[in-house]
Amino acid sequence: METLVYSQCTTHGGSVLKSGGGGAVSVLGFPLQHLKRHTLPGSKKKQSFGAIKASLAKTEVALLRIGTRGSPLALAQAHETRNKLMASHPELAEEGAIEIVVIKTTGDKILSQPLADIGGKGLFTKEIDEALINGDIDIAVHSMKDVPTYLPEKTILPCNLKREDVRDAFISLSASSLAELPAGSVVGTASLRRKSQILHRYPSLKVEDNFRGNVQTRLRKLNEGVVQATLLALAGLSRLSMTENVTSTLSIDEMLPAVAQGAIGIACRSDDEKMASYLASLNHEETRLAVSCERAFLLTLDGSCRTPIAGYASKDEDGNCIFKGLVASPDGTRVLETSRKGSYHFEDMVSMGKDAGKELLSRAGPGFFDS
């Protein structure tokens, strides 16, 4: 198996991907000069993620191999993980100690169909999990909202990095919010969760639900007029240092986020104590508990790519857990919501998630998701 190896690039302030041919190819996309620039209130300019370039080389055996998808966002998350490991463990800060291995997943290969049609769980994780189990990589970095509720046998997910902003960003060249879009305007999204909530609140809008591709691809399609607006996770834009493209940010009440949105999860083999120890040093417990609550809700509902489900657990000013959950019919004509409040402890939060899921299952009744 060919591996793509990353090393520090001191001349460009970023990172360089070495693989096997002579030339260098940027995979970060283009600068989107024609998009309107918007700055989030109170936001600070982040350091640029830097260009990632491809060429060919071999290095000595790494101490730790990180498996990831190859999209710019996935690579940003892998680099964030690498940097945190280097900062926490001196032996991993040596040159060549950490290798980033890019793995193409089913979700990356099939772009012509909606996710719901090719669907099922694990579209963006299956091949990475297989590489982990087979020993081709040592840890796997995932966007937690892509991770199925059942982990593959022989793997554990002991670490969540500190969560980014969970909200969705509205991006448009012609309107400042969903409410300002004229009737008949087309909003692009690959998410049934977003589609159902958009149509529920704004039935006069249209939704292009096969609006797929990485962040750069979706912004290019918007710039070309394929759609009049799109919604993207604010967390992804932040990790790519691309928040200047955000027109406005949707509140939690207007657009409840996907389960585990904004959270990065890192898995390892269940019998690899050394990697589990490395990951334990990076874990952000408040995030892990929130994600556990939300995933318990999703597991109870047994949600699939064809099921619009949203859930969000957060800590209030008194230190309690506030959970909000939602299920919707795909066409947005029916939306059922619920909420819970309890102590911010693992058992209580998992129980809250399960209980909220059971309530919505009961209220939805048979056939709810068939519309």
Please identify every residue annotated as catalytic: 146
State the DSSP code for 297: H
**Can you say how many angstroms the Cα of residue 261 is from the centroid of all Cα atoms in its chain?**
6
State the DSSP code for 145: G
Q: Which residues contact 325 (CB under 8 A, 6 or more apart)?
A: 256, 297, 309, 310, 311, 312, 337, 338, 339, 340, 353, 356, 357, 360
Nearest-angstrom CA–CA distance, 369 and 371: 6
8 A C-beta contact, residue 314 and residue 341: no
Q: Which of 325, 326, 319 is nearest to 342 (CA)?
A: 319
Nearest-angstrom CA–CA distance, 286 and 169: 24
8 A C-beta contact, residue 145 and residue 294: no
Q: Which of 170, 176, 181, 173 is nearest to 226 (CA)?
A: 173
Nearest-angstrom CA–CA distance, 294 and 338: 13
End-to-end CA distance of the chain: 44
Nearest-angstrom CA–CA distance, 135 and 137: 5
Q: 3-class SS at 151?
A: coil
8 A C-beta contact, residue 164 and residue 234: yes
Q: Which residues contact 88 (CB under 8 A, 6 or more apart)?
A: 278, 281, 282
Q: Which amino acid type is present at position 80? A: E
Nearest-angstrom CA–CA distance, 307 and 196: 10
Phi, then psi, of 200 in degrees rounded to 5: -65, -40
